[in-house]
Amino acid sequence: MNRRQFLQAGAAGLGFAAAGLGEQATGQKPLRVGVIGTGWYAKSDLFRLIQVAPVEVVSLCDVDRNMVAEAADMTATRQRSKKRPRVWHDYRQMLAEKDLDIVHVGTPDHWHSLAMIAAVQSGADVWCQKPISVDVIEGQAMLAAARKHQRVVQIGLQRRSTPHLVEARDQIVREGKLGKVGLVEIYCYYHMRASGNPPDTDPPPNLDYEMWTGPAPMRPYNKWDHPRGWRAFMEYGNGIMGDMGVHMFDMTRWMLSLGWPRRISSSGGILVDKASKANISDTQLATFDYDDLKIVWQHRTWGEPPDPKYTWGATLYGDKGTLKASVYSYDFTSTVRGVAPVHKDVTYELEQYPEDKTEKDLEKQCAPAIRHHWLDFLSAIATRGKPVADIEEGHISTASCILANLSMKLGRTLAYDPRAGRIPGDDEANRLLARPYRSPWVHPTPEAV
């Protein structure tokens, strides 16, 4: 069963189709799974995998002893064997066992690169959360490592596997109903930037804060750091551009079959909420220039959205029609007389997977996409092919968002040459393609993986 046939099978047959594909991918023997970083979204991903394939989760790793213990207990109740996974606190020790077929990297962003590279070096295929990296050279090294060690790497850019968005791409975009697309607006208007100024404190005793910080700059511990609040700080990620923008930029590239943009420009900053301890921008505009196509990003963590139905999404403007797309729905309207509008909502699959109804903090609208994304990954493992969100696609989307942040910082347009891995004629910008690593951690390079 290929991916298109699977999606066309419909939600009603998902459980049976998933089990069959899982058995096909695993070759009758359960694939052995390990997880690095056992926070909120890593568990969301992991439990969707358990739903669709007969895997055995054997190892979990986290620098928070309480978090990993809780994740091990939860996994034991969810997986078929009911076995409690082994618990680790240093991913290097876990990977040294060399007994894992799949490794999920669900750490904060500043750890993605080192953990993913170590996992492929250990012989595992990898699912890595987005964005793949916090600087461009990290991403180059991750791609080089995946190819050198011939591992399948799927990035958690699951809009590419969201059933209603696959339908929109296939039945609206690819059938030419938009006509010539000249502009795409991508956006996020969630009030998601942390507000306030909580005091710095000592880290909790269950957290190894030295290891949690890893290669990032050492900051005084703040309760926003862990868990989940680390996105408030540029030391650990790429702001809202790298968190939310990467999804919609990647979705647009996938829908329109686009590669690297020719030029990237961006402006913005902390324009409204200047009192918060958060150092990520509250307002940002960016243009990804494809010559006769412009993709324009905007985020605001204040004010009202232009369309309350589409607060995080993309609007594709063509000379024959317009498509609005989000994780919740899509809407197509045509300028051609007689062509009816089309609306489609996400299918939640709560009856097929009743545990989705009660799982704490699960983004129910994203659960079907995660399941389909896992199945695509398992199929690629079975064939040794490339998954839909292959590491190279993740690198293009991530690096483009990082370059937008660098453009905002430098105040000028950047034209990145992907073959050279540099920005021609801009030494200052090139120096920013790799962030400094904190000792003793060593920044990876494509030549040294």
Q: Domain check: are 116 and 252 in the same one?
A: no
For residue 371, tell me if it sits in a domain: no
Residue 442, pLDDT > 90, answer yes
As a whole number, mean pLDDT of residues 338-349 equals 96
Residue 402 and residue 387 in one domain: no
Could you tell me if 140 and 252 lie in one domain?
Answer: no
* Confidence at 308, pLDDT banded by 50, 70, 90: very high
Phi-psi region of 26 (alpha: psi -120 to 50; beta: other; left: phi over 0): alpha
The pLDDT of residue 26: 42
Question: Quick check: 78 pLDDT over 50?
Answer: yes
Q: Which CATH number does the domain housing residue 284 bear?
A: 3.30.360.10
Beta carbons of 141 and 360 less than 8 angstroms apart: no
Residue 316 has pLDDT above 50, yes or no: yes
Residue 150 in any domain: the answer is: yes
- The pLDDT of residue 28: 66
pLDDT value of position 102: 98
> What integer pLDDT is reported at residue 7 of this predicted model?
40
Same domain flag for 124 and 233: no
pLDDT band at 94 (very low <50, low <70, confident <90, very high): very high
Q: pLDDT tier at 17 (50, 70, 90 boundaries)?
A: very low
The verdict on residue 441 lying in a domain is yes
Q: What is the DSSP string of 178-236?
A: T-SEEEEEEEE----S--S-PPB-PPPTTB-HHHHHTTSPP---BTTTTTTGGGG-TTT
Please give the pLDDT value at position 5: 43
Together in a domain, 386 and 397: no
149 and 227: one domain?
A: no
Reported as a single tens digit per residue, the pLDDT across 205-249 is: 999 999 999 999 999 999 999 999 999 999 999 999 999 999 999
Q: Measured between alpha carbons, how far is 148 from 129 in angstroms, rounded to an integer? A: 20
- Does 119 lie in the same domain as 187? no
- pLDDT of 22 strictly over 90: no
Bond before 131 cis per omega within 30 degrees: yes
pLDDT category of residue 29 using cuts at 50, 70 and 90 = confident
Residue 291, Ramachandran bin (φ over 0: left; ψ between -120 and 50: alpha; else beta): left
Share of residues in the chain with pLDDT > 70 (%):
94
Pair (130, 58) in one structural domain: yes
Q: Where are the beta strands (DSSP E) in 327-413?
A: 329-334, 342-345
Residue 373 resides in a domain: no
Task: State the CB neighbour count (10 A cutoff) for residue 372.
Answer: 24
In a domain, 362, yes or no: no
Q: Read off the pLDDT of each residue in 263-290 and give the average, rounded to a whole number.
A: 98
- How does the average pLDDT of the chain come out, rounded? 94
Residue range 101-150, pLDDT digits in tens: 999 999 999 999 999 999 999 999 999 999 999 999 999 999 999 999 99
**pLDDT, average across residues 266-280:** 98
Count of domains for the chain: 2
Regarding whether 81 and 208 lie in a shared domain, the answer is no
344 and 420 belong to one structural domain: yes
Q: Is the pLDDT of residue 8 over 80?
A: no
Q: What one-letter code names the amino acid at 354?
A: P
H and E: helices and strands count for the chain: 14, 14
In a domain, 99, yes or no: yes
**Type of residue numbered 95:** L
**Which pLDDT value is given to residue 113?**
98
> Which structural domain range is residue 315 located in?
167-348+393-448
CA dihedral 206, 209, 211, 213 (to 10 degrees): 150
Same domain? 308 vs 387: no
179 and 146 within one domain: no
Long-range pairs for 437-441: beta carbons < 8 A, 24 or more residues apart: 437/215, 438/213, 438/214, 438/215, 438/216, 438/217, 438/218, 441/114, 441/214, 441/215
Does residue 331 register a pLDDT over 50?
yes
* CATH number of the structural domain spanning residue 116: 3.40.50.720
Q: Is the alpha carbon torsion for 124, 130, 134, 139 positive or negative?
A: positive
